[in-house]
Structure 1
């Protein structure tokens, strides 16, 4: 969110503390793509809208997002779940070591 952006030294791009607020990143991207304001989203989520020319970065600056964790139930540790985890990490550009 914008508070995190500011805490990490993000540039002032005219953001406001009031206005529309979306908990769903898809709705946020749709609203920004329709010209309803600026959006703070992960580059991965905005890639398609950027490639389509609907969105453009307001600044070249980025900030590292919070550290995320995922949980897989022990009964779901199978080849299908491992394949999904590997695919997700590959598409996010992060290393993943299969569980032991």
Structure 2
């Protein structure tokens, strides 16, 4: 295989987990892992989707719930990962505990 196109992000951004020195990177719905020893374009891999639509059907991270959520901020508070989301016009802020 010469290349792989996943098409996961459009206008979203991502934030690195400070507790992993930037190895774990999160968008509003996805988890990526970076290996900084690899060359550019080969250093990241898709780890998984962080939303369970069937277990939590009202989850605010779902595209149909927070359509305009594009900015992500990840913080660790007392060892737990918290993901903060805000819209592209910063008209709200939501937070979630990440259990991944």
TM-score tier by shorter-chain length is: under 0.3
Higher RCO, 1 vs 2 (CA within 8 Å, ≥6 residues apart): 1
Higher strand share: 2
Higher helix share: 1
Normalising by structure 1, what TM-score? Answer: 0.21
Normalising by structure 2, what TM-score? Answer: 0.21
